[in-house]
Structure 1
Amino acid sequence: MARTNKLLVPGAEQALNQFKMEVAQEFGVSLGKDTTARSNGSVGGEMTKRLIAQAQGQHGKTE
């Protein structure tokens, strides 16, 4: 399957991968093809929640 996600910031992929590994470690999930979609998805969902919370916090500070 083709990957369609485009990163807006060059070099952000490495930081996102590190973030993903940190969240997976906190959740006790070993990411990979042998892991269930539910487990892998829980990591992605938590990443999204944290990124949104961070963005909202920054947005609130600038107003």
Structure 2
Amino acid sequence: MARNNRKIVPESRTMLKQMQYEIASEFGLYGAGYGGGADTEFASELGATGGYSQTSTPYLGQLTSRENGSVGGEITKRLVKQAEQSLFR
């Protein structure tokens, strides 16, 4: 059975990737290979991204499923929180 993981809003892909790297950085998962845990919001301006650009991604093969799942879970929590806040405003 084919999986359909197509994004309803394709423009959200960039925002979700940025959120993924920010949360992983907050959790300390990327370490020196990803700029030493630098704040990813301004890291590209400061040149502290360890070579990361929009076209290349850091190697993440050393991360466990649990670590990756914690990032995905945190993304979900934050998106749900944002949605709840926008509903009750």
Q: TM-score, normalised by structure 1?
A: 0.83
- Local SS of the residue matching 2:23: helix
Q: 1:17 matched to which residue of 2?
A: 17
36-45 or 25-34, which deviates more: 25-34
Corresponding position: 1:34 with 2:69: no
Corresponding position: 1:58 with 2:86: yes
Q: TM-score, normalised by structure 2?
A: 0.60
Q: How does 1:41-52 map to 2 (within 5 A)?
A: 41-52=69-80
Any gaps of 5 or more consecutive residues in structure 1?
none
Deviation at 1:3, TM superposition (A): 5.9
Runs of 4+ in 1 over 4 A off after TM superposition: none
- Local SS of the residue matching 1:32: coil
Separation in structure 1 between the aligned mates of residue 6 and residue 80 of structure 2, nearest angstrom: 18
Q: How many residues align?
A: 60
31-40 or 20-29, which deviates more: 31-40
